[in-house]
Amino acid sequence: MSAQDFHGSTGAAGVPAADDDDLLFLPEGPEAGPERIASPQRWRVLAVDDDRDFQRSTAFALSGMRVLGRRIELLQAYGHAEAARLLAGERDIAVMLLDVVMETDDAGLRLARAVREVLGNAELRIVLVTGQPGLAPVHEVMERYDINDYWTKSELGVERLHTLLTAGVRAWEQLRTVARARRGLQMIVEASNVLVGARSLRDFSARTIAEIASVLGVPPEGVVCVRRARDDGRVIGAAGRYARSVDRPLEALEPAGVREAIRHCLQERRTLVLADCMVLYFPAELAGAEYAAWVEIERSLDDTEQELLRVFALNIGSGLHNVALFSRLDDLAYRDQLLGLPNRNALLRALESALGSAARHHTALLLIDIDNFSGVNLTLGPAYGDALLKRIGERLRDGFDPTVLLARLGGDVFGALGPVERLDPESVAALFADGAPSAADGGAWSVGTARLPLAEFTGTALEALASATLLLKQAKLRGHGQHQDWLPEIAVAAGRRFALLQALREALARDEIGIELQPQIDLATGTVTGVEALARWQRADGTRVAPDAFIPLAEATGLIVPLGEHFIELACAAAARLAAAGHGHIRVAVNVSAVQSARADLVASIERQLLASGAEARQMEIELTETVAMQNFGAVTDTLERLRARGLTVAIDDFGTGFSSLAYLRRLPADLIKIDRSFVQELGNGGESRTEIAELIIRLAERLGLRVLAEGVETEAQAGWLRMHGCHYAQGWLYARAMPLDALLDWLARRERAGT
Ligand code: C2E
Ligand code: CA
Ligand code: CA
CATH of the domain at 214: 3.30.450.40
Long-range CB contact pairs, 727-731, < 8 A, 24+: 727/523, 727/675, 727/694, 727/698, 728/522, 728/523, 728/524, 729/520, 729/521, 729/522, 729/523, 729/529, 729/530, 729/672, 730/520, 730/521, 730/523, 731/518, 731/519, 731/520, 731/521, 731/532, 731/674
Quick check: CB of 622 below 6 Å from ligand 1? Answer: no
> Nearest ligand, CA of residue 675?
3
Which CATH number belongs to the domain containing residue 42 in this structure?
3.40.50.2300
Which CATH number belongs to the domain containing residue 731 in this structure?
3.20.20.450
Alpha-carbon distance of 371 to 352, in angstroms, equals: 28
Quick check: CB of 565 below 6 Å from ligand 1? Answer: no
State the pLDDT at residue 22: 33
Co-location of 470 and 372 in the same domain: yes
In a domain, 519, yes or no: yes
Rounded to the nearest angstrom, the distance between the alpha carbon of 264 and the centre of ligand 3 is 68
Quick check: CB of 567 below 6 Å from ligand 1? Answer: yes
Nearest CA to ligand 1 atom 11: 738
In a domain, 454, yes or no: yes
Give this prediction's pTM: 0.47
Rounded to the nearest angstrom, the distance between the alpha carbon of 572 and the centre of ligand 3 is 20
State the pLDDT at residue 8: 34
Co-location of 616 and 705 in the same domain: yes
Quick check: CB of 656 below 6 Å from ligand 1? Answer: no
> Cβ(395)–Cβ(406) under 8 Å?
no
Angle between helices 602-613 and 633-645 (to 10 degrees): 30
Q: What is the helix (H) or strand (E) element at residue 623, kind and residue range?
A: strand 620-625
DSSP 553-592: HHHHHTTHHHHHHHHHHHHHHHHHHHHHTT-TT-EEEEE-
Cis peptide, bond prior to residue 255, ω within 30 of zero: yes
Residue 305 burial by Cβ neighbours in a 10 Å radius (0-12, 13-18, 19+): buried
Co-location of 260 and 376 in the same domain: no
The segments of the chain whose pLDDT lies below 50 read 1-39, 439
Of ligand 1's listed atoms, the one at least distance from the Cα of 731 is 15
> Cβ(592)–Cβ(624) under 8 Å?
yes
Of ligand 1's listed atoms, the one at least distance from the Cα of 535 is 38
In a domain, 506, yes or no: no
State the pLDDT at residue 650: 96
Q: Cβ–Cβ contacts within 10 Å for residue 94, how many? A: 24
Alpha-carbon distance of 292 to 309, in angstroms, equals: 13
State the pLDDT at residue 31: 38
Nearest CA to ligand 1 atom 12: 712
Minimal CA–CA distance to 90: which of 78, 108, 77? 77
Co-location of 141 and 216 in the same domain: no
Co-location of 204 and 96 in the same domain: no
Q: How many residues does the chain have?
A: 756
Question: Which of 284, 299, 334 is at the close of a domain?
Answer: 334
Domain count, the chain: 4
In a domain, 555, yes or no: yes
Angle between helices 461-477 and 344-355 (to 10 degrees): 120
Q: What sign does the CA torsion over 188, 190, 196, 198 have?
A: negative
Minimal CA–CA distance to 711: which of 676, 743, 685, 739? 676
Minimal CA–CA distance to 312: which of 428, 422, 426, 191? 191
Question: Which of 154, 180, 206 is at the close of a domain?
Answer: 180
> Nearest ligand, CA of residue 676?
3
Alpha-carbon distance of 160 to 170, in angstroms, equals: 16
Co-location of 67 and 121 in the same domain: yes
Alpha-carbon distance of 145 to 151, in angstroms, equals: 16
Co-location of 140 and 202 in the same domain: no
Nearest CA to ligand 1 atom 6: 712
Question: Which of 334, 368, 384 is at the close of a domain?
Answer: 334
Quick check: CB of 654 below 6 Å from ligand 1? Answer: yes
Co-location of 384 and 479 in the same domain: yes
Co-location of 439 and 580 in the same domain: no
Residue range(s) defining the domain that contains residue 449: 360-486
In a domain, 319, yes or no: yes
Co-location of 31 and 171 in the same domain: yes
> Nearest ligand, CA of residue 533?
1
State the pLDDT at residue 25: 34
In a domain, 121, yes or no: yes
Co-location of 21 and 169 in the same domain: yes
Rounded to the nearest angstrom, the distance between the alpha carbon of 686 and the centre of ligand 3 is 24
Quick check: CB of 535 below 6 Å from ligand 1? Answer: yes
Alpha-carbon distance of 250 to 269, in angstroms, equals: 16
Minimal CA–CA distance to 347: which of 415, 253, 271? 415
Minimal CA–CA distance to 212: which of 247, 246, 238? 238
What Å distances lie between residue 255 and 24, 41, 224, 227, 281, CA to CA?
Answer: 39, 33, 15, 19, 20
In a domain, 559, yes or no: yes
State the pLDDT at residue 185: 66
447-468 exposure pattern, b = at least 16 Cβ within 10 A, e = fewer: bbbbbbbbeebebebebbbbbb
> Nearest ligand, CA of residue 680?
1
Co-location of 311 and 442 in the same domain: no
> Cβ(238)–Cβ(245) under 8 Å?
yes
State the pLDDT at residue 49: 92
Strand partners for 590: 533, 622
> Cβ(310)–Cβ(271) under 8 Å?
yes
In a domain, 277, yes or no: yes
Alpha-carbon distance of 212 to 215, in angstroms, equals: 5
Residue 91 burial by Cβ neighbours in a 10 Å radius (0-12, 13-18, 19+): buried
State the pLDDT at residue 11: 35
